[in-house]
């Protein structure tokens, strides 16, 4: 496969369908709405990866930097056999040009942007290649929408944990970025999806088990794992380890983990529902309490199944018999066995050598329900880490969840700029587009707003928050993971502060 074939077949014919003397097509990427209630903004992420990997690396390696006939041979065959198209002289001319004649103007990645406000625009820079702009729509959409979606899933979790952490402790608690841990790798649709979705996750979190994303961030977002924490995890058992030790050997397996890590990481996670979770946490753990505490090692317990939901395992099932382990729940049992301390806000913090992580069937709604119950129980929410898997990150997540669209709003024909737009009478979902050239400015509160029907002076104005990031095959402006994280998390904290003022 070659990058020039990364398109919908109907795109091929558009070169001849535009009016005669068309010289430019100007398009934008806009989130037109959201199917999730209560959402009025979105976080932007993924464009820099797309530019570096697809518009630069792939277009150079698979097209511009190889002989023309080699680059076009298979594409010519595919178009002839699938569409009956034999004229690809425009691709030959593009190869002769030697670069992608496209300019991309974008808002900073990590920005929180109001719905219906674009995050970037595309337009061609050479009049012969007006057809290139929207030819790139297919692959742009394919690569970018999922990263934007998962950045917004991660933002949703970050808002929840920061909100309830601010109630039960200090939001600057160093454990905060680790309270939501990405467990989604194996559940994603392919390796690229796993890595790119995790990259979006890491804007708001430092916890992940998706190892290759560390290299991804170094390759595409100027990160350096020697100098900054991209993501981290801890040693953890799985059921194969527990089963290999045998049911009667569960205690020895547990002690072996303590001995294995007490001199190295001094922390490990132990899956403890392989046979009888409540027996392990209420009896075995109680019996091995001193062995663990004397080691100086921390054990993070991981229940991995529940008869109802994780809520009951963590916080207790009030429908169970009073006083039983099921009634008490994990947090209360751990407090009973290991104790802990009360923080400045009067909430219980477990002994630092014991912890709890739950990573099955977590959703934002369930996570918030659990944290609310923890507050009722007077437990600081820092006592619980949740592993967030593919269920939460891709369930009911499509391009239309955030109604993402790449649409043209202007063309230039015979040196005359024409504003174009769509406004279907049959539509009720927000498909009406902006018109003409676009710019995004900030109001007195520092919030973005769109201005359409602009002049080129507006587009290139210093006040336009959208800046050129790519032009004619070259990356013009880059950003780093640390800059994106700073922007994105400041926006959440600003929103939390606003909510606090309103509540008072």
Q: Report yes or no: 168 and 51 within 8 Å, Cβ to Cβ.
A: no
| Of the residues 333, 361, 394, the one at which a domain ends | 394
Instruction: Point out the least confidently predicted range of 139-143, 153-157, 231-235, 358-362.
Output: 358-362
Tokens 């929103």 belong to residue = 495
With H, G, I as helix, E, B as strand and everything else as coil, classify residue 452: strand
Q: Tell me how far apart the alpha carbons of residues 448 and 450 are, in angstroms, rounded to a whole number.
A: 7
Per-residue DSSP letter, 204: S
Q: Are strands 207-208 and 120-124 parallel, antiparallel or unpaired?
A: unpaired
Helix axes 212-220, 191-201, angle to 10 degrees: 70
141 within domain boundaries? no
Arithmetic mean of pLDDT, 447-469: 96
With H, G, I as helix, E, B as strand and everything else as coil, classify residue 115: coil
Same-domain status, 354 and 445: no
pLDDT given for residue 500 in this prediction? 63
Q: Tell me how far apart the alpha carbons of residues 42 and 114 are, in angstroms, rounded to a whole number.
A: 6
Same-domain status, 364 and 328: yes
Q: Is the pLDDT of residue 428 over 60?
A: no
How far from the centroid of its chain's Cα atoms is residue 442's Cα? Answer: 25
pLDDT given for residue 426 in this prediction? 60
Q: Is the pLDDT of residue 427 over 60?
A: no
Same-domain status, 127 and 183: no
Same-domain status, 431 and 321: no
333 within domain boundaries? yes
213 within domain boundaries? yes
pLDDT given for residue 430 in this prediction? 58
pLDDT tier at 390, thresholds 50, 70, 90: confident
Q: Report yes or no: 481 and 215 within 8 Å, Cβ to Cβ.
A: no
| Of the residues 362, 394, 426, the one at which a domain ends | 394
Question: Considering the chain, what is the average pLDDT of its residues?
Answer: 93
CATH code of the domain containing 364: 3.20.20.70
Same-domain status, 193 and 243: yes
Residues 290, 293, 295: CA angle, nearest 5 degrees: 105
Tens of pLDDT, residue by residue over 24-41, are 999 999 998 888 778 889
Q: Between the CA of residue 113 and those of 39, 118, 167, 198, 477, what are the distances in Å?
A: 11, 8, 27, 21, 20
| Total residues found in the chain within this entry | 504
Arithmetic mean of pLDDT, 466-488: 97
Q: Between the CA of residue 478 and those of 47, 56, 148, 419, what are the distances in Å?
A: 10, 14, 18, 30
Q: Please provide the DSSP assignment of 162-178 as one string.
A: HHHHHHHS-TT-TTGGG
CA-wise closest residue to 387 among 441, 460, 314: 314
pLDDT tier at 273, thresholds 50, 70, 90: confident
249 within domain boundaries? yes
The total number of structural domains in the chain stands at: 2
499 within domain boundaries? no
Q: Tell me how far apart the alpha carbons of residues 201 and 184 are, in angstroms, rounded to a whole number.
A: 10
| Of the residues 375, 394, 413, the one at which a domain ends | 394
Q: Report yes or no: 160 and 384 within 8 Å, Cβ to Cβ.
A: no
485 within domain boundaries? no
436 within domain boundaries? yes
CA-wise closest residue to 182 among 217, 211, 160, 218: 211
492 within domain boundaries? no
CATH code of the domain containing 62: 3.20.140.10
pLDDT given for residue 501 in this prediction? 54
Same-domain status, 203 and 108: no
Q: What are phi and psi of 231, to 5 degrees?
A: -155, 160
Q: Determine the structural domain holding residue 120 and report its residue range.
A: 3-135+405-472
Per-residue DSSP letter, 276: -
Same-domain status, 239 and 361: yes
Same-domain status, 75 and 185: no
pLDDT given for residue 15 in this prediction? 94
Same-domain status, 312 and 440: no
**CA end-to-end span of the chain:** 59
Beta partners for residue 121, in sequence order: 28, 105
Same-domain status, 249 and 103: no
């Amino acid at each position: 496969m070659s990058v020039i074939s990364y398109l919908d077949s109907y795109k091929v014919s558009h070169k001849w369908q535009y009016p005669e003397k068309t010289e430019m097509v100007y398009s934008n990427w806009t989130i037109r709405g959201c199917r999730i209630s209560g959402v009025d903004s979105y976080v932007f992420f993924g464009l820099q990866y797309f530019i570096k990997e697809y518009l630069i690396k792939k277009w150079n390696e698979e097209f511009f930097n190889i002989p023309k006939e080699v680059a076009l041979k298979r594409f010519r065959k595919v178009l002839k056999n699938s569409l009956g198209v034999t004229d690809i002289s425009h691709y030959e001319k593009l190869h002769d040009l030697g670069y992608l004649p496209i300019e991309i103007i974008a808002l900073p990645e990590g920005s929180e942007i109001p719905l219906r406000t674009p995050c970037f625009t595309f337009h061609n820079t050479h009049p012969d290649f007006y057809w290139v702009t929207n030819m790139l729509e297919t692959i742009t959409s394919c690569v970018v929408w999922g990263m934007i979606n998962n950045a917004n899933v991660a933002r949703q979790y970050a808002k929840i944990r920061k909100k309830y952490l601010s109630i039960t402790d200090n939001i600057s608690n160093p454990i905060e970025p680790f309270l939501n841990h990405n467990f989604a790798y194996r559940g994603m649709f392919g390796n690229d999806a796993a890595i790119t979705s995790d990259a979006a996750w890491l804007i708001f979190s430092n916890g992940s088990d998706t190892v290759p994303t560390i290299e991804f961030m170094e390759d595409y977002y100027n990160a350096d794992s020697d100098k900054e924490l991209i993501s981290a995890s801890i040693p953890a058992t799985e059921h194969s380890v527990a089963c290999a030790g045998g049911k009667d050997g569960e205690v020895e397996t547990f002690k072996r983990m303590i001995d294995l890590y007490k001199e190295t990481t001094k922390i490990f996670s132990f899956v403890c529902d392989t046979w009888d979770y409540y027996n392990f946490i209420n009896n075995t753990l109680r019996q091995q309490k001193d062995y663990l505490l004397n080691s100086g090692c921390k054990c993070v317990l991981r229940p991995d199944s529940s008869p109802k939901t994780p809520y009951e395992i963590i916080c207790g099932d009030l429908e169970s018999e009073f006083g039983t382990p099921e009634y008490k729940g994990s947090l209360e049992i751990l407090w009973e066995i290991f104790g802990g301390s009360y923080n400045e806000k009067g909430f219980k913090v477990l002994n630092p050598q014991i912890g709890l992580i739950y990573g099955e069937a977590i959703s934002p709604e369930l996570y918030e329900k659990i944290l609310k119950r923890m507050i009722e129980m007077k437990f600081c929410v820092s006592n619980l880490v949740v592993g967030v898997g593919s269920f939460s990150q891709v369930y009911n997540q499509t391009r239309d969840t955030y109604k993402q669209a790449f649409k043209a709003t202007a063309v230039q024909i015979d040196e005359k700029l024409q504003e174009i737009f769509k406004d279907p009478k049959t539509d009720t979902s927000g498909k009406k587009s902006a018109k003409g050239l676009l710019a995004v400015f900030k109001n007195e509160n520092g919030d973005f707003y769109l201005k359409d029907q602009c002049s080129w002076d507006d587009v290139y104005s210093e006040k336009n928050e959208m800046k050129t990031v790519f032009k004619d095959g070259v990356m013009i402006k880059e950003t780093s993971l640390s800059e994106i994280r700073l922007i994105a998390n400041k926006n959440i904290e600003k929103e939390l502060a606003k909510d606090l003022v309103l509540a008072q």
